[in-house]
Amino acid sequence: MVRRIDAIEKVTGAAIYAEDIFLPDMIYAVPLFAPHPHAKIISIDTAKAKVVRGVVGIFTASDVPGELRTGGVVQDHYIFAKDVTRYSGDVVAMIAAETLEAAREARDKVDIKFEPLPALFSPVDAMKPGAPKIHPERENNICCHYPVRHGDTDAGFKKSDKIIEREYKTQHVEHAYLEPEGCVAIANADGSVTVRGGMQHPFTAQKFTARATGLPVNKVQIIQTTLGGGFGGKDDTISIICARAAIITLKTKRPVKIIYTREESVRESYKRHPFHVKFKAGVTKDGKLQALEANIVADAGAYCSTSPFVIWRPTVQCTGPYIYPNVKCDSYAVYTNNTFTGAMRGFGSPQINFAIESFIDELAAEINADPIEFRRKNFFTQGCTTHTGQKFDNHKVAIAEVVNAALEKFDWNEKFGKCSRGAPDANGNYYGIGMACSYRGVSLGHEGKDFCAAIIKITPDAKVELEVGVAENCQGLKTVMANICAKELGVEVEKIIYKDVDTLSVPDSCPTVASRGTLVGGNAVIDAVRQIKEKMAPVAKNIGAHSSFEDIVSACHSMNIELHALGTWQGPPVSWEETTGQGNAYFTYVYGCQVVELEVEGKSGKVRVKKMLGAHDMGKAINPEMAKGQIFGGMVMGMGFGLKEEIIHKEGVIQNLNFDKYRIVTSAEVPEMEALIVENRDPAGPWGAKALGEPVNELMGGAIANALYYATGVRFRETPIKAETIRTALSLRRSISD
Amino acid sequence: MRLKINGKNRTVKCPLDKRLLDLLREDLRLTGTKEGCGEGECGACSVVLNGEAVNSCLILVGQLNDGDEILTVEGLEKTPLGKKIQKSFMKAGAVQCGFCTPGMLMAAYALLKKNKKPKKSEIEDGIAGNLCRCTGYKKIVEAIAMCTK
Ligand code: FES
Ligand code: FES
């Protein structure tokens, strides 16, 4: 078994997270938030705050030396609100002081005069013609739109015996990484700045910080500290916080520490996009799907962030792993005055898969078909062409394989017969099982350029220094990279010294998102090792076949052969035609299936999840135990999405800012779990490996909705499916039948 | 005030309304103990106080008594049980981002001190006050179960 190389410092308390950095002469800064989600700022009076003992400075939009607006895709995000606030998490000022207490005390004394503006809290309202514009420079509130046109849906509906329409909705979800945002910035003597902090993608932080400070990129050094969870959530917000910290340290010439409280973190940071999905599908009597029309509207909140990518992925995957010969899909992300939304584990797929997999079961029910048989009839097959016109012939199309593996292991057939289907047992309780399956594009696809670099340096004492451009996002990336490197070089993993990403050392390798870390990082490492081996080979030949790694290294050293290599990897080509949504969206795909067994207490509507199983084709599991850990963690997070978690906005203001009201799944609720690893090695992956982190988080919502249907006979079309909702539905049904 | 922290006698001087968490992290630089919520909901700040796992973000220095014994993650290595728990967390793969880990270890320590052979459900309840977003808890529960053998 391969152990995590970073576990030891984490169990001894030695690992350094952002909050653990203490420097001499350091000051603390806290954010002052918008007084209203959409308002005109008339004045900011800091006189009373400035005289609080210990206050060093108060910083607002007018203190930004570089660009005030930032963003990865569209630069519409104000790092300090200027003139107007657009959501309740907008930061109007940062207050820096000798102590945290002084900074907070001063914050309470800043007086902001403002005038509320008409605000938009629903994407539907925001899309209406004539709605007030959230970003005046834009034509309307539509942040982005992706169409797909494939075949002729009217013709498909004509061929169908049944046409069914349904709507599904999902909620705002908080990443709930256990470590809130934090960083420490230091102004260096040469005018450059160094920021250490917990970010998923140091290169975004570097770009944002350079843009805001006006410094050239090579004067901004970002060093990643141990990251206390990310799940897609530690990109934009933390990068903006780094930029603010840099501005303050450059002005004050003192080290600046910003550590968010949980409430500050939940208030400012982006969430998972809520989706409103409308489906219309046609199917023949014998269970063949003919046409699909999909309309997806997502709430982007106040800023664009990664919305285009988060909307594009579910557009590409809107059919699920099923062949529809005719498809028309339109997806939109829309600006509102809610908290902005962005990347979160899955990138739009937990939402769309909840809808797709609920809908498939509903379609099966409409034509009295078995949900599994119905799926099998329509599954993607080897060599099939999807609704984006991509032919699936370069990888193993394993959807049937993962579903079969999962169901067999779960005793599906036997358990499915036992479902209550709306008839409670003697105690008034219900029993049900449900499943969901998916296909998923690996890495960024057409979202971005797919590049990664790795540096290997072998020191004269035969230690191997490894640095990879993708960052540890807690998924065990370092361990996987170190293992690939060790095995390829033929040395023990203990020899590898892993260097955390330093933006001034390794080339920008695009974000560690989209579950791409293993694939792109692994390939870059393999390329670097190949170069090193080429340098070593002639020397090894000279000094004899039985010489050890150490001998060869020292021989190279004495011959002045430098064992140093920059490995790179560039993703295979992808394509996309924007107006028709046709193209080879991703260069390869993974397949997964999750199954759940649950009980519902009739009286209270409480759900007890009894068992969850995940079967995932990840190409190859480089570290099977860590892979299983990802599957368990992903399923539990998916369970929270399906049953519990929801950020509640009231007039744009978040009502549940901490864990007392935002409830995530606890150890007492976790059911028995099983993980099945399916391996169909992919030609593009290192040792055949593909991806895992996100596929495991995109299925449980749909599986739970389906299980609740086979238990209670009621179809729930909105997440989270809370006990109150279930109780109300059941008592309504009782009163109708009485 | 005299406290026994990780087996060592220490005299501390600080305002009585300081949180125990800040005393440990800021004054004593025992930064292994983490802050995840500041309101007693996540358990990242758990330490063992006189044998009980407590949330150090909820305890003020003024509530402590002379001679109180506090064990933090930094002191685990020096106790046989602590060492065993640390090893099984590594072995079971119970550590991902690690932010919940110190608190989990301390909750496990207090649990196993009182109950040498807890059942699975007792382990699950024993750490129910400690949130983990990464692991789904399964491997954490397995790690604690490994210590009962
Ligand atoms: S920080 Fe103390 S319980 Fe969360
Ligand atoms: S390991 Fe990340 S919160 Fe538990």
Task: Say what percent of chain A tops pLDDT 70.
Answer: 97
Question: Residue A458: in which H helix or E strand, if any?
Answer: strand A451-458
Would you state the pLDDT for residue A250?
Answer: 98
pLDDT at A688 > cutoff 70: yes
Question: Residue A248: in which H helix or E strand, if any?
Answer: helix A236-252
CATH number of domain containing B15:
3.10.20.30
Of A6, A13, A658, the CB nearest to B32: A13
Chain A residues closer than 8 Å to B135 by CB:
629, 632-633
Alpha carbon distance A281, A97 (integer Å) = 60
- Check CB contact of B33 with chain A, cutoff 8 Å: yes
Is the Cβ pair A228, B96 closer than 8 Å? Answer: no
**Residues B57, B85 within the same domain:** no
Q: What are phi and psi of A425, to 5 degrees?
A: -80, -175
CATH number of domain containing B84:
1.10.150.120
Q: Decide if A370 contacts A171 (C-beta within 8 A).
A: no
Chain A residues closer than 8 Å to B17 by CB:
none
Is the Cβ pair B127, A667 closer than 8 Å? Answer: yes
A135-149, A267-281, A427-441, A521-535: segment of lowest average pLDDT: A521-535
pLDDT at A660 > cutoff 70: yes
Q: Residue A699 has what DSSP assignment? A: S
For ligand 2, what atom is nearest to the CA of residue B96? 1
Average predicted confidence (pLDDT) for chain A: 93
**Residues B105, B95 within the same domain:** yes
* CA A492 to centroid of ligand 1, rounded, Å: 39
Of A12, A178, A658, the CB nearest to B99: A178
pLDDT at B126 > cutoff 90: yes
The candidate with the shortest Cα–Cα distance to A81, out of A302, A305, A343, is A302
Distance from the Cα of B42 to chain A's closest Cα (Å) equals 7
A422-431, A455-464, A501-510, A521-530: segment of lowest average pLDDT: A501-510
* Number of residues assigned to chain A: 738
* CA B53 to centroid of ligand 1, rounded, Å: 12
> Residues A156-161: contacts with CB within 8 Å, 24+ apart?
A156/A282, A156/A290, A156/A291, A156/A324, A156/A325, A156/A326, A157/A282, A157/A290, A157/A291, A159/A282, A159/A284, A159/A290, A159/A291, A160/A282, A160/A283, A160/A284, A160/A290, A160/A291, A161/A283, A161/A284, A161/A285, A161/A367
**Residues B11, B38 within the same domain:** yes
Would you state the pLDDT for residue A3?
Answer: 65
Q: For B103-117, give one letter per residue: b (16+ CB within 10 A) or e.
A: bbbbbbbbbbbeeee
Highest mean pLDDT among A276-280, A478-482, B134-138: A276-280
The Cα-based distances of A706 to A171, A352, A359, A703 in angstroms read 18, 15, 9, 5
Chain B residues closer than 8 Å to A634 by CB:
136
Of A13, A262, A475, the CB nearest to B102: A13
Q: Decide if A733 contacts A600 (C-beta within 8 A).
A: no
Alpha carbon distance A2, A681 (integer Å) = 20
**Residues B10, B71 within the same domain:** yes
- Check CB contact of A664 with chain B, cutoff 8 Å: yes
pLDDT at A237 > cutoff 70: yes
Structural domains in chain B (count): 2
**Residues B31, B14 within the same domain:** yes
Boundary residue ending a domain (B29, B49, B75):
B75
pLDDT digits (tens, 9 = 90+) for A600-615: 999 999 999 999 999 9
For ligand 1, what atom is nearest to the CA of residue B129? 3
* Number of residues assigned to chain B: 149
pLDDT digits (tens, 9 = 90+) for A330-365: 999 999 999 999 999 889 999 999 999 999 999 999
Would you state the pLDDT for residue A665?
Answer: 96
Give the mean model confidence (pLDDT) for residues A360-371. 97
Structural domains of chain A in order of their starting residue, each with its CATH number: 19-117+181-259 (3.90.1170.50), 350-444+587-737 (3.30.365.10), 451-570 (3.30.365.10)
Average predicted confidence (pLDDT) for chain B: 96
Give the mean model confidence (pLDDT) for residues A675-700. 84
Q: Distance between terminal CA atoms of chain B? A: 39
Give the mean model confidence (pLDDT) for residues B81-92. 96
pLDDT at A326 > cutoff 70: yes
**Residues B6, B68 within the same domain:** yes
Would you state the pLDDT for residue A734?
Answer: 80
Give the 3-state secondary structure of A183-223: EEEEECCCCCEEEEECCCCHHHHHHHHHHHHCCCHHHEEEE
Q: Decide if A37 contacts A336 (C-beta within 8 A).
A: no
Domain of residue B69: give its range. Answer: 2-75
- Check CB contact of A625 with chain B, cutoff 8 Å: yes
Interface test with B, best of A26, A667, A672, A697 (most B CBs within 10 A): A667
Boundary residue ending a domain (B49, B75, B101):
B75
Angle between helices A349-366 and A307-316 (to 10 degrees): 30
**Residues B69, B85 within the same domain:** no
ipTM for the complex?
Answer: 0.97
pLDDT digits (tens, 9 = 90+) for A451-492: 888 899 998 888 999 988 877 665 677 888 888 888 888 888
Question: Residue A112: in which H helix or E strand, if any?
Answer: strand A111-116
Full-model pTM: 0.93
Is the Cβ pair A178, B34 closer than 8 Å? Answer: yes
Residue B97 Cβ < 6 Å to ligand 2: yes
**Which residue ranges have their beta carbon within 6 Å of ligand 1?**
B 35-38, 40-45, 55, 57
Residue A422 Cβ < 6 Å to ligand 2: no
Residue B16 Cβ < 6 Å to ligand 2: no
* CA A54 to centroid of ligand 1, rounded, Å: 27
**Residues B82, B137 within the same domain:** yes
Q: How many C-beta atoms lie closer than 10 Å to residue A5's C-beta?
A: 20
Q: Decide if A75 contacts A239 (C-beta within 8 A).
A: no
Q: Decide if B60 contacts B16 (C-beta within 8 A).
A: yes
Would you state the pLDDT for residue A1?
Answer: 44
**Residues B85, B70 within the same domain:** no
**Residues B110, B121 within the same domain:** yes
Q: For B13-36, give one letter per residue: b (16+ CB within 10 A) or e.
A: eeeeeebbbbbbbbebebbbbbbb
Boundary residue ending a domain (B30, B47, B75):
B75
**Residues B56, B98 within the same domain:** no
For ligand 1, what atom is nearest to the CA of residue B131? 4
Q: Decide if A166 contacts A152 (C-beta within 8 A).
A: no
For residue A216, cis peptide bond before it (omega within 30 degrees of 0): no
Give the mean model confidence (pLDDT) for residues B132-142. 94
- Sign (positive or negative) of CA dihedral A689, A472, A5, B100: negative
pLDDT at A687 > cutoff 80: no
* CA B58 to centroid of ligand 1, rounded, Å: 8
Of A263 and A566, the structure prediction assigns the larger pLDDT to A263
Of A523 and B77, the structure prediction assigns the larger pLDDT to B77
Substitution candidate for ligand 1 out of B23, B42, B104 with most atoms within 8 A of CB: B42
Alpha carbon distance A351, A645 (integer Å) = 13
Give the mean model confidence (pLDDT) for residues A540-561. 86
Would you state the pLDDT for residue A513?
Answer: 52
Would you state the pLDDT for residue A386?
Answer: 96
Is the Cβ pair B96, A178 closer than 8 Å? Answer: no
pLDDT band, residue A119 (cuts 50/70/90): very high
Task: Say what percent of chain B tops pLDDT 70.
Answer: 100
Would you state the pLDDT for residue A685?
Answer: 74
Distance from the Cα of A611 to chain B's closest Cα (Å) equals 12
pLDDT digits (tens, 9 = 90+) for B31-81: 999 999 999 999 999 999 999 999 999 999 999 999 999 999 999 999 999
**Residues B40, B80 within the same domain:** no
Distance from the Cα of A628 to chain B's closest Cα (Å) equals 10
pLDDT band, residue A366 (cuts 50/70/90): very high
For ligand 1, what atom is nearest to the CA of residue B43? 3
